[in-house]
Structure 1
């Protein structure tokens, strides 16, 4: 095994093979990689579940860290409908004869979390490359446990903002690590399910936020908001206890030149009961993809995300996440507040919020069946078009002040949540994991999610001023504004978003290298082992090696 390990190190440092032994090793590597790629593309969902049950469990456990982020971000929007929270942290509005947190401080709370998440993303991008996904997540969970104390004991709104910034740091790390890990520990057929489960975790967190708020909104003491904050200690401890035993991604080990550790990790992710599975061939496929990407680019820095073929990949991944913020999804987080502003009492609005998020969970589960039959691009574009129509309807209902119109707005926002969590929400995590290169995946996701959080700062400021009774007080007419940005998002998706369904990472690498149009990704034939694309003449592996040497 020693010569094989030496070859991996040489490849990783950029040294070119110069003797016949290395050429023979390259031929064996390509042959094994091709066999594993064919086996993975032909693998059924049932076989993948039987072969990778441990990978599914570890990915689900790590993804559950995002329940905390979904919980808190929905919690803030819901707490603005809590009378006790408003009296503790808000100001008295003489015109409305009630207490309310000003739009400026609402923006400070929401944007404080986003600013912290950007810091956490930068930390995770550096730490996950150096120390791995597992260690980065464990460190973030420890920080999470510490920072919740700031939220729980905050004496005023200024300290509450500091708490949101601090809690945003581990949340940002979770945002980066979870999709990268989910996309690397399982075969192609399982990737869309494991990556979209991240959206399910978000919705679960939002559902719990509505449920906890409904249970505590009737209290007249400080526990009306302390209980919702304190619930955030429930998640980190059991997740931390499990992650201590989790295996690292095999891809991470290969990128660090440790083939033996990669194989050991892969064996911990798979079942030992399938005699047809060949771990060495799967590791060869990972090595081949890693070598292929290194021949296209040399660096692993943030700057390399904006060079050559990766510039387009970074633009697409960032655009996919920006579309999430610009298609009106922020209104879902302000659901209870939105309805109370429209005239509904707080308890009833929380009940509707629970129904909204329960339907969102059903939508995410439904998206798993949809993605097995329909391409990611089709789902994403169709979802945005449906959201555009719903936003126009909500805006139109705002011209009526009747009780029926208020309920109709609530019903349409519930439908909006279902459509979002059936299409755009979950498929986004599948797309960003598949369309970024494996060697720059962590850093590409960091940049894209940082862009997402930065855009959310703008979106949160706009939404708070649009809905707040102390500012513009647009009410449901806010939906018209987001309908316009949703239309622009739909145009971008149509022209720029490619279809990765059914493609291995090596195939996607070559499609981007050959600058295939986004609308032709699905129909273009590609052979990553001969570099054959469309009608181009096929080349032998010796010719490929000779060209790469030049």
Structure 2
């Protein structure tokens, strides 16, 4: 036995010999868990830097009007083909980054994936900052898109693996809050510069983009590796140390470590294969149902009109609204998104994930229906205001629709396939986003279809269809451990029975080691 192996064995023995805490049949509430795990909350915020970066990057395009647009009838207009290329290829890059992020995260660890994302993002913003032509600007967005895909996939994987059960849903839904916060930061810097014609109007915003990879670099050494990754790679002692660095109560570490090891071994036994898992496993047996759910959840941002809302300032310019009113309405809309994300974090603990997602889809369908009706009166100033107002009200949908959906997507996959399943989900997300980002400029540009508020009918129709699909396919995962979810998917429990289904196993997350069942 080598010295390193002896050290690891001794550390594992020291951890597992910890005196158990007094037995308590009742798990902590969500708010108790929040107070007991301050370090985990900080690490979850770190993991969501990718979501901040994504929200920020999506509004950067607004400030390129003066640099790459041309004045048409007194309004800056970017040719639709350049908008489509910028949006589409950036999303394709994010899609590729999501897939690559799954490989890196599984092979080298979550921390290495964060490091790669930070390096790529730094390079991408450097190219964007120095861009003088649309082609160079496109190259920068592609590089940054790769970084976003890796950061987003790794972030959700990491959050799902470090958070205790009472916090998992809130922590995973924080993706939505951070994305909206990124939008707000970008809007606060960008919108006052919409009327400027100097280079500073857009270069200041692009330079601000270096903040996000800077945060990833700055705190990376403080972030522990995922215990699930370490156990999957036969490093239980390292996993115990990671749990310690996460601020876990020492008395609970043996029980948590046992659960992680047991879940990993049980999934490997069911798969009847080695610990190496492939993307094809996501489409086999019960995992295919899990993958479908993840794909539905990742389709929701586009179904509720994300590509429409993030292009809101440019759409309202094309619709004839003044810059001052556009700035006011955009910031109000993003504030709605932030408020709904915060409110969702609480409501989700009361009503669960499934109910909120269905409510969000119903709300989205209703708002876009009103917008479509207003779009039938294109020459009315009142109708223009209705379109603008309901476009901003649509940000309210982000909280109830996307937040709980991202929580479900982060919970339903098998543990050994989590990085790959989430990579597939984000890949599909950005494939779908690519399609819409190609289409959108042609729908609302004044020199193309110029549909205006009639676009609302498109998203109202998609929302109605998705509501029906989710009603029959989306399960309730609130309060379920990974072991319980494994059993329910293996037993093919019906979607609407998930909430009341009684699992056969005694769950161990809050039962200290050594306590009789």
TM normalised by structure 2 equals 0.90
Q: Distance in 2 between matches of 1:114 and 1:39?
A: 48
Residue 458 of structure 1 deviates from its aligned partner by 1.1
Matched, 1:175 2:147: no
Q: How does 1:465-480 map to 2 (within 5 A)?
A: 465-480=442-457
Residue 212 of structure 1 deviates from its aligned partner by 1.1
Q: How does 1:32-181 map to 2 (within 5 A)?
A: 42-76=27-61, 78-79=62-63, 85-91=64-70, 93=72, 96=73, 98-181=75-158
For 1:402, the equivalent position in structure 2 comes to 380
Matched, 1:413 2:384: no
Matched, 1:253 2:192: no
Q: Distance in 2 between matches of 1:206 and 1:64?
A: 13
For 2:470, the equivalent position in structure 1 comes to 493
For 2:340, the equivalent position in structure 1 comes to 363
Q: Distance in 2 between matches of 1:450 and 1:468?
A: 28
For 1:527, what is the secondary structure of its paired residue?
coil
Runs of 4 or more above 6 Å deviation: 38-41
Q: How does 1:502-521 map to 2 (within 5 A)?
A: 502-521=479-498
Aligned pairs, number: 491
For 1:436, the equivalent position in structure 2 comes to 413
Residue 301 of structure 2, aligned match among 320, 324, 338 = 324
For 1:65, what is the secondary structure of its paired residue?
helix
Bigger drift between 66-75 and 490-499 goes to: 66-75
Q: Distance in 2 between matches of 1:415 and 1:362?
A: 12
For 2:163, what is the secondary structure of its paired residue?
coil
Go from structure 1 to structure 2 and tell me whether the alpha carbon gap of 1:313 and 1:40 turns closer, same or farther (over 3 Å shift).
farther
Q: Distance in 2 between matches of 1:117 and 1:280?
A: 39
Cα deviation digits, residues 203-252 of structure 1 (max 9, x gap):
01111121111222232212222222121012221332112211111111
For 1:235, what is the secondary structure of its paired residue?
helix
For 2:269, the equivalent position in structure 1 comes to 295
Q: Distance in 1 between matches of 2:315 and 2:324?
A: 13
Go from structure 1 to structure 2 and tell me whether the alpha carbon gap of 1:97 and 1:422 turns closer, same or farther (over 3 Å shift).
closer
Go from structure 1 to structure 2 and tell me whether the alpha carbon gap of 1:39 and 1:156 turns closer, same or farther (over 3 Å shift).
farther
Q: Distance in 2 between matches of 1:53 and 1:510?
A: 31
Residue 97 of structure 1 deviates from its aligned partner by 5.1
Residue 87 of structure 1 deviates from its aligned partner by 4.8
Go from structure 1 to structure 2 and tell me whether the alpha carbon gap of 1:39 and 1:166 turns closer, same or farther (over 3 Å shift).
farther
For 2:318, the equivalent position in structure 1 comes to 341
For 2:189, what is the secondary structure of its paired residue?
helix
Cα deviation digits, residues 483-531 of structure 1 (max 9, x gap):
111111111101111110111100000100011111111121112359x
User: CA contact under 8 A between 1:91 and 1:101: conserved in structure 2?
Assistant: yes
Residue 40 of structure 1 deviates from its aligned partner by 9.4
Bigger drift between 386-395 and 44-53 goes to: 44-53
User: CA contact under 8 A between 2:300 and 2:402: conserved in structure 1?
Assistant: no
Matched, 1:313 2:290: yes
Which runs of 5 or more structure 2 residues have no equivalent in the other structure? 10-15, 508-517
Residue 328 of structure 1 deviates from its aligned partner by 2.0
For 1:495, what is the secondary structure of its paired residue?
helix
Residue 329 of structure 1 deviates from its aligned partner by 2.6
For 1:376, the equivalent position in structure 2 comes to 353
Q: Distance in 2 between matches of 1:369 and 1:458?
A: 34
User: CA contact under 8 A between 1:41 and 1:189: conserved in structure 2?
Assistant: no
Go from structure 1 to structure 2 and tell me whether the alpha carbon gap of 1:413 and 1:218 turns closer, same or farther (over 3 Å shift).
same
Bigger drift between 182-191 and 38-47 goes to: 38-47
For 2:282, what is the secondary structure of its paired residue?
helix
TM normalised by structure 1 equals 0.85
Cα deviation digits, residues 31-76 of structure 1 (max 9, x gap):
x9xx99x979722223322332211111112212321111111232
Residue 283 of structure 1, aligned match among 257, 264, 267 = 257
User: CA contact under 8 A between 2:66 and 2:197: conserved in structure 1?
Assistant: no
For 1:193, the equivalent position in structure 2 comes to 170
User: CA contact under 8 A between 1:138 and 1:244: conserved in structure 2?
Assistant: no
Go from structure 1 to structure 2 and tell me whether the alpha carbon gap of 1:41 and 1:432 turns closer, same or farther (over 3 Å shift).
farther
User: CA contact under 8 A between 1:326 and 1:485: conserved in structure 2?
Assistant: yes
User: CA contact under 8 A between 1:199 and 1:421: conserved in structure 2?
Assistant: yes
Q: Distance in 1 between matches of 2:445 and 2:195?
A: 22
